[in-house]
Structure 1
Amino acid sequence: MYVIGISSGIKHGHHDGAAVLLRDGELIAAAEEERFTLAKHARGELPRGAIGFCLKQAGITMRDVDWICSPLKTYTNYAQRLTEYFKYQFGHSPKIELYDHHLCHAASSFYGSGFSEATVACFDFSGDSSSGLVAHARGNDFRVLTRFGRHNSLGLYYGMLTQYLGYQMTNDEYKVMGLSSYGSPEYLDKFAKLLRPNGINYELDPELDKRRRDADIFTSDFSTRQERIFTEKMEEILGPRRLRGAPLDRRMTNVAASGQKQLEIVATEVIRSAIAETGCGNVCIAGGVGLNCKMNMEIAAEPSVKRLYVPPVPHDAGVALGAAMMKCAEAGHAISPLSHAYWGPEYSNDVIRETLGKIGARFELLEDPVSSCVTDLAEQKTVGWFQGRMEYGPRALGNRSILADPRHASMKDRINLTIKYREEFRPFCPSVLYERQAEYFEETFDAPFMVVTFPVNEKVADKIPAVVHVDKTARIQSVHVDTNPLYGRLLGEFAKSTSLPMLINTSLNINEQPTVNAPLEALHTYFCSGLDVLYLGPYRLSKS
């Protein structure tokens, strides 16, 4: 049985479209639509490009697919709209099955974890008339303990905070998270008035939502991203907001720190209360707020949490996976745990060589790109690393990556300013060999998807300054040689050369562009940035 899961939709508020393909419960292919449209988040578009890739990867046509599965169960006539869409775009529509948005999130995390039982929390912006849920998952049963109302939303709360600080809602929340580490939570008492914990639930002050207060001028509760979503009450409590592009001062960093801390307090209280009800300390996190790695660190540190799992796609791209998993589970198929995220397109050496020839690039063909790359890295060169299948999810995990040596603090500023063209306060993450991560980071567990931060061991922090954030933490990627042999070997050879089993790893892209998919996009990033070297499969390009 072939099942395609999709995310996003046809309204302007829909985003992060993706498609996945499962065959009898086995994941075959998965990719986000933004990598094909080259428009970040692929807003308001169904994932035509990602669907086409999934079919090609499996060597099938749409007529071979048994089911198309999607969230948006509460949308009027949506199944009929999808049927017409697939007939128009692909000449045939399989059967359509719609699921609840947040159950799709929950399924993507629970089935991916491999746990037989878990407490599952979905913290999101909105979807199918709610903003998240808490469930007790066991086998194929999801017993919902509570749902969070559409307007009582942690995603909405953090979107308001993002706008207040002068950034773009549903795009720049990660900037607020990074900025928060530079401040102190001096305004925590004020944020306690805006967002209040309440056991397994919480309460976001309803007077903050401009869309609810001014319902007569909003035709729907989805405001456009260019409109303010918070009322004047937020500024009455916190003081004047920051205009986009204005200098950041200490008050704003303290606001970011306070807002982030209140999120952590509320989310941790929800988890603590949920575990008390389920009796299960295995915790799965999903929903867009699940990308908040500082929150995830605090949840992991909660004493009642036994094990924590956050998938590589906790955001809306992940509901495509969850929908397909639920359909396969209903059919009696076993769902394998998600041990890696390398499910996207791969390009042959011949395709890469043809692309290089078309643009007239100078390059060299290497017998062993790993040994050459180790030399480049040890010589303090910044490296674009394009290998194997593209990652499914927003994090580069060693196949579409920018790599560098973390031993010099100046490397962080160099990459931010000359390659990524982004704010200087933004941190970079380390990829580290799993078997050696405990030497450098504290309270660690297997974290292959770069979605949890960990404290840095203060005894070795001075050896890796470029990946130590201002709060003395790092968002690590645990690298296993068996799931990515080439990248694992690169880290191993770098360790032999430098005694350090880790590298700076950030996505191969320029700020506000999607992570690259194809060789031509990698070349565009290389030639439009300060990258020193680019490895495309066995081919090496250098500007020196």
Structure 2
Amino acid sequence: MRDGELLAFAEEERFVREKTAVNRYPAHAVKFCLEYGGIDITEVTSIAFGWNAQKYAFVSGGSQMEQFYDSLSKIYSKDVKTLASEKEILLRFQPERIESTLFQALSEVGIRVSKKSPTIQYFSHHHCHAASAFFCSGFASSSILTIDGSGEETCLALWEGRGSQIQITERVELPNSLGWLYSCFTEYLGFRPYRDEGKVMALAAYGRPDTNLERVFDKVTGLVESFPFYRVDPNYIFYGRHSYGRRFTDKLVTELGAPREPCFEVDQVSADIAYQLQKRLEDAVLSFLRHTLAKRPKNNLCLAGGVALNCKLNRVLATEQKEGLFEGFFIQPLSSDAGTALGAALLENYRIGLGRHVPLKHLYWGPNFSNDEISGVLRKSGVKYNRVSSVATEAAQLLSEGSVVAWFQGRAEAGPRALGNRSILANPTSSRHAEAVNLKLKRREPWRPFGSSMLLDAADDILIRSEAAPFMIQSFLVKDSFRKQIPAVVHIDGSTRPQTVTRENELLHEILEKFRDLTGMPLVLNTSFNGLNEPLVNTPDEAIETYLGSDLDALIIGEFVIKRNGTSPSDLDS
């Protein structure tokens, strides 16, 4: 950010080609942001960090977080793995280590920090989540719910935002963590914790109630009458012996049996466990909000933190909004920990007197490439390509004919969702098209649903209780009259995860209008343009490499078209 204005936002994973880039300092992302803004590192006055490392600083008698962990040791039994994990965390967040590691990472990408290096300002993790939501919501005042695995000692918090101020009003500390709970079962089901929770959410729709599982889950989690109005028993998660996994204990295995293998086809036992987990999450969040919001004047609600990426939970909360629990509802689409970078920057701007609200209208803050740059890459690659007068017309025609199209345009979108600039597009009117996307590129579990991009002015015709949803962060039920018409984007529970599109994305809007003219359907299947276990493509080279390594029918990149069958019908030049 410069002078309170958001210029660029990018995640390290896109540059190092490692999904989520766990525990890597964002040196390449910083380099891009500085270059895009025309800013030299010597002009940077401060670096905002979305974790309060001061709580980890070694002092006589132990750091605040060391004392916190010790207090939990007096209550719970911790095995060697848990103690080692706590020690590693205490070391990782030492302020001196953060500074030296960050500046070393920057130097490795050519950013030399002088002795007069920028000051690092540390902010609490949940405060950053809260700031990223409220200051980007467009609300003058709002309640703010932040919920994730943990940030320092906090795992859930309720805040009040008004103007430039954000104040915490309720705090839930470890180990009563719903994020921990979800990651525990993600690993138990054979998936990767803190990465595959979306798979578990999708699998839950195939589940069904089971009285035996209900009795087990009653031991692990449930609702209570006192604050925080839900409970999580950590003896099934982090506290106890871990013979089978890092995030669930042997006690859980005693109750449920051996850990599950990740299922490519729907496994009913795994689906039933996922169903229980999802329901318990929704019940816990609703219980907390109903009790806490009832004590204050009705206001808007903002939501952030990793758990806010659960689009089924967000649909449940949106229903509560319609029924009057709160007024406006804003979900920060950058709800993962990557979004705390934005929240920390916004808080730092307020600290130095440059603060402002930055309502999010789009997420196109990443790298972009000119047609000259793209054509140079195309020539170097040796692929046959055509330049066309209207890429939107070309795309709509191909989609109407059943082709699966890779689409690379403009600035890359931030966050985990493809929003029409680094996307795979397909015709939504047949489930065969969803199968084709999987076969041609994604190679993921067939029970996972695909998102949709639809014209905002058509959303009322398609969705129950529709509203503007530009960030693909909430699911909606599809009207019965449309479910059979668009099976490629309707999940087993009758829902879709849409991106409602306006002229904010002019090219995507044009595709949808032209596709409607050709087919009568104002929406397309939209999923991320990436290979298996990779982040979104970031550059023309990556787009071409991913396309050539797939069986996709076409790649439209800038003004250029590559097709499997050679030339384009609207060829201008080659």
1:256 matched to which residue of 2?
A: 274
Letter in 1 for 2:26: P
1:231 matched to which residue of 2?
A: 249
Deviates more, 1:270-279 or 1:430-439: 270-279
- How big is the shift at 1:512? 0.6
* Alpha-carbon spacing, 1:450–1:247, altered in 2? closer, same or farther (3 Å): closer
Q: Which runs of 5+ in 2 are unaligned?
A: 58-92, 566-574
Q: TM-score, normalised by structure 1?
A: 0.90
How many residues get paired? 512
Looking at structure 2, the residues matched to 129 and 396 of structure 1 have their Cα atoms a distance apart, in angstroms, of 33
The correspondence for 1:113, drawn from 130, 137, 143, is 137
Looking at structure 2, the residues matched to 53 and 189 of structure 1 have their Cα atoms a distance apart, in angstroms, of 51
- The 5 Å alignment of 1:520-535 reads 520-535=541-556
CA contact (8 A) 1:264 1:298 kept: yes
Deviates more, 1:299-308 or 1:510-519: 299-308
Looking at structure 2, the residues matched to 529 and 422 of structure 1 have their Cα atoms a distance apart, in angstroms, of 14
Deviations along 1:171-229, one digit per CA (max 9) or x if unpaired, are: 111111111101113234432331223454431112112x43259x9xxxxxxxx9432
2:28 matched to which residue of 1?
A: 49
- How big is the shift at 1:453? 0.5
Deviates more, 1:32-41 or 1:194-203: 194-203
Deviates more, 1:88-97 or 1:492-501: 88-97
Asked if 1:190 is matched to 2:209, the reply is no
Deviates more, 1:394-403 or 1:252-261: 252-261
Indicate the SS of the match to 1:503. strand
CA contact (8 A) 2:502 2:509 kept: yes
The correspondence for 2:56, drawn from 51, 70, 75, is 75
The correspondence for 1:503, drawn from 520, 524, 540, is 524
* Alpha-carbon spacing, 1:459–1:185, altered in 2? closer, same or farther (3 Å): same
The correspondence for 1:377, drawn from 380, 386, 399, is 399
Report the aligned-residue RMSD: 1.8
CA contact (8 A) 2:123 2:344 kept: yes
2:63 matched to which residue of 1?
A: none
CA contact (8 A) 1:378 1:498 kept: yes
Looking at structure 2, the residues matched to 200 and 445 of structure 1 have their Cα atoms a distance apart, in angstroms, of 31
1:207 matched to which residue of 2?
A: 235
Looking at structure 1, the residues matched to 262 and 146 of structure 2 have their Cα atoms a distance apart, in angstroms, of 30
Deviations along 1:77-104, one digit per CA (max 9) or x if unpaired, are: 7444444445542222212110000110
Asked if 1:442 is matched to 2:464, the reply is yes
Looking at structure 2, the residues matched to 312 and 537 of structure 1 have their Cα atoms a distance apart, in angstroms, of 26
Indicate the SS of the match to 1:46. coil
CA contact (8 A) 2:367 2:411 kept: yes
Structure with larger Rg: 2
Letter in 2 for 1:206: P
Indicate the SS of the match to 1:346. coil
Letter in 2 for 1:369: V
Deviates more, 1:300-309 or 1:28-37: 300-309
Indicate the SS of the match to 2:10. strand
1:486 matched to which residue of 2?
A: 507
Percent identical residues: 37
2:176 matched to which residue of 1?
A: 152
CA contact (8 A) 2:172 2:228 kept: no
- How big is the shift at 1:251? 1.8
Deviates more, 1:300-309 or 1:378-387: 300-309
CA contact (8 A) 1:119 1:280 kept: no
- How big is the shift at 1:294? 0.4
* Alpha-carbon spacing, 1:254–1:357, altered in 2? closer, same or farther (3 Å): same
Indicate the SS of the match to 2:403. coil
The correspondence for 1:287, drawn from 305, 327, 345, is 305
Looking at structure 1, the residues matched to 236 and 429 of structure 2 have their Cα atoms a distance apart, in angstroms, of 45
Indicate the SS of the match to 2:286. helix
Indicate the SS of the match to 1:451. coil
Letter in 1 for 2:554: V
1:103 matched to which residue of 2?
A: 127
Deviations along 1:469-511, one digit per CA (max 9) or x if unpaired, are: 0000111111111x21111111111112211111100000112
* Structure (1/2) with the larger strand percentage: 1
Looking at structure 1, the residues matched to 142 and 492 of structure 2 have their Cα atoms a distance apart, in angstroms, of 33
- How big is the shift at 1:410? 1.4
1:336 matched to which residue of 2?
A: 358
CA contact (8 A) 1:468 1:474 kept: yes
- The 5 Å alignment of 1:408-427 reads 408-427=430-449
Indicate the SS of the match to 1:124. strand
Looking at structure 2, the residues matched to 443 and 332 of structure 1 have their Cα atoms a distance apart, in angstroms, of 38
Q: Which runs of 5+ in 1 are unaligned?
A: 1-21, 218-225
Looking at structure 2, the residues matched to 287 and 497 of structure 1 have their Cα atoms a distance apart, in angstroms, of 41
Deviates more, 1:444-453 or 1:47-56: 444-453
CA contact (8 A) 1:188 1:261 kept: no
- How big is the shift at 1:387? 0.1
Looking at structure 1, the residues matched to 94 and 372 of structure 2 have their Cα atoms a distance apart, in angstroms, of 42
* Alpha-carbon spacing, 1:476–1:189, altered in 2? closer, same or farther (3 Å): farther
Looking at structure 1, the residues matched to 549 and 283 of structure 2 have their Cα atoms a distance apart, in angstroms, of 42
- How big is the shift at 1:135? 1.1
Indicate the SS of the match to 1:112. coil
Letter in 2 for 1:203: R
Looking at structure 1, the residues matched to 476 and 346 of structure 2 have their Cα atoms a distance apart, in angstroms, of 30
CA contact (8 A) 1:290 1:296 kept: yes
CA contact (8 A) 2:404 2:436 kept: no
- The 5 Å alignment of 1:230-379 reads 230-244=248-262, 248-302=266-320, 303=323, 304-330=325-351, 331-379=353-401
